[in-house]
Every structure is written in C-alpha cells, then in structure tokens.
Amino acid sequence: MTRFRVATFARYAELLGGHDLDVELATPATVADLIAALRMLPGGAALPAAPLVAVNLNLADHSTPVAAGDEVALLPPLAGG
Amino acid sequence: MPLLSAGPIDPATLIAEHDAPGHGGLVVFVGRVRDAHHGRAVRALEYSAYPAMAEAEAAAILAEASTRWPVQVSACHRVGRLEVGEVAVVVVTSGGHRDESYAANRWVIDALKARVPIWKREWFADGTSEWVDPTAAMAP
C-alpha cells in the first residue's frame, strides 16, 4: 500500500473536513482507484462520480496512473473570474 | 505582476508592462465584484486557488494566446476576500492593431475562467455563503 496526500479546495475541503486528505492505495494505482478511496472518506459519498483530479498540476483522466511522489489534487468545478 | 495576487490589483501596473512602440492597439478587461448573483444581493466574494496549478495553467493560457495572435498578454487574478466593486481579474492585450488585441483578450478571459483552478464563494447580504458551482444552473 502507498499513502497519498491529496490536496483539495473550496467546497470539497468543507465536504471532506480539510484541505489535505490521506488515502492508501494498492499500487500500481490509477485516478479511478484514488477517487474510489476518496469517496470512502467521511463526507466523500457526496462527491460526484467523476470529480476533477489533477496529477502533477495537470488535469488527469480516470486511467491516469498515480505513483508515490506524485502531486495529487481533487478539484471542485472551476469557477474563477 | 504575478498571475495571482492576494492584494489589490491596479490595472495601470499591467498596462505599464505593454510598452512595445509598435503596439498601437491595447485592450484592458477588468472584472469586478458585482452586487448580485441570480437575483440575490451579494456583499463580498472569496476566491480560493490551487496556487501552483493556477499559476502554471494561467501561464500556459497567456503563452497560448501569444501563439494564436501577434500580441503581448498579461493578466492577474485576485485571491482572498473582496468587497463589491473591487477588481477581481485584469487581462491586458496589446498588438499592432485592435482586432488581434480584442480577440486575444476575449479568448484569454474565457480560458482563465474555464481552466484555472480558482473557486469563488459568494457572501450574501443575509449573512449566508455558497461556493459557486458553474455545473449547476447557469445564469440567464
């Protein structure tokens, strides 16, 4: 198992109770595995089925691999400007 | 200026970066905090960013604009809490003529809103607040 620290923001940080979330995944893992683990956290069931995830500052799709050392973030829908 | 600012943005600071003598057409977009959203009175906005990705994505958008049009582009987006009337975002484009400056400016502000990880919380006059979700009902 590999531990990932996942950054999150805005409404999702409120939903999940913090800006930094820890999840453990069996590796090799993908973004889909990460989302499944995040949805198991307290409050996580309220996440959409396919939230935005960034890996190393780029938006990722569900098949994108995640590995130890990657910077991973869970993003609410974008609403700047 | 940096692409994200925790303090007030002065559009003149960005305009001053555009001093190419051949750039006769300069366009400035200033986005300010509005006093209402979907008919509800708004008192303030709070912008929260994923700073590392927001800086990288905004820089990529500016670089892409200057490959699509022969323009110089600069932009700055505010983070933190802003009162009604405060400047939230500024985009400045300059080129030889107005056509490319207007076109690039419009494209950049739309791309910033769509692609940069910045979130907006509205504080209403009645004391409640909500994170804006653009995937929910669209503004009319």
Q: Which residues, including other chains, have CB under 8 Å from residue B138's CB and lie 6 or more apart?
A: none
User: Using the beta-carbon criterion (under 8 Å), do A80 and B53 form an inter-chain contact?
Assistant: no
- Render pLDDT for B24-48 as a digit per residue (tens, 0 to 9): 999 999 999 999 988 899 999 999 9
Three-state DSSP class for residue A4: strand
Tell me the residue type at A10: A
In a domain, B140, yes or no: no
The reported pLDDT for the residue numbered A81 is 58
- Render pLDDT for B51-81 as a digit per residue (tens, 0 to 9): 999 999 999 999 999 999 999 999 999 999 9
Give Cα B67 to chain centroid, integer Å. 20
pLDDT exceeds 50 at position B132: yes
The reported pLDDT for the residue numbered A80 is 59
In a domain, B114, yes or no: yes
Mean pLDDT, to the nearest integer, of A18-27? 94
The dihedral formed by the CA atoms of B118, A16, A33 and A80, expressed in degrees to the nearest 10: -10
In a domain, A47, yes or no: yes
Mean pLDDT, to the nearest integer, of A69-76? 96
Rounded to 5°, angle at Cα B90 from B8 and A56: 90
CATH code at A50? 3.10.20.30
In a domain, A54, yes or no: yes
In a domain, A80, yes or no: no
Can you read off the two tokens belonging to residue A26?
A: 């069996």
Give Cα B88 to chain centroid, integer Å. 6
Can you read off the two tokens belonging to residue A38?
A: 């995040």
In terms of residue numbers, what domain contains A8? 2-75
Mean pLDDT, to the nearest integer, of B98-117? 96
Q: CB distance from B31 to chain A under 8 Å?
A: yes
In terms of residue numbers, what domain contains B114? 4-125
Q: Which of A57, A71, A72, A74 to mutate to test the interface with B (most CBs of B within 10 A)?
A: A57
Q: What is the DSSP string of B106-122?
A: HHHHHHHHHHS-EEEEE
pLDDT exceeds 50 at position B140: no
pLDDT band at residue B139 using 50, 70 and 90 as cut-offs: very low
Q: How many domains does chain B have?
A: 1
The reported pLDDT for the residue numbered B37 is 85
In a domain, B88, yes or no: yes
In a domain, A10, yes or no: yes
In a domain, A40, yes or no: yes
Can you read off the two tokens belonging to residue B85?
A: 């009337």
The reported pLDDT for the residue numbered A25 is 94
In a domain, A28, yes or no: yes
Pick B58 or B138 by higher pLDDT.
B58
pLDDT exceeds 90 at position A27: no
The reported pLDDT for the residue numbered A43 is 95
Q: How many domains does chain A have?
A: 1
Mean pLDDT, to the nearest integer, of B116-123? 95
Pick A36 or B37 by higher pLDDT.
A36
In a domain, B95, yes or no: yes
In a domain, A64, yes or no: yes
pLDDT band at residue B138 using 50, 70 and 90 as cut-offs: very low
**Cα gap B8→B136, rounded to integer Å:** 30
pLDDT exceeds 60 at position B98: yes
**Cα gap B9→B13, rounded to integer Å:** 8
CATH code at B76? 3.90.1170.40
Residue B21 distance to chain A (closest CA, Å) = 30
- A73 vs B contacts (CB less than 8 Å): 50, 53, 117
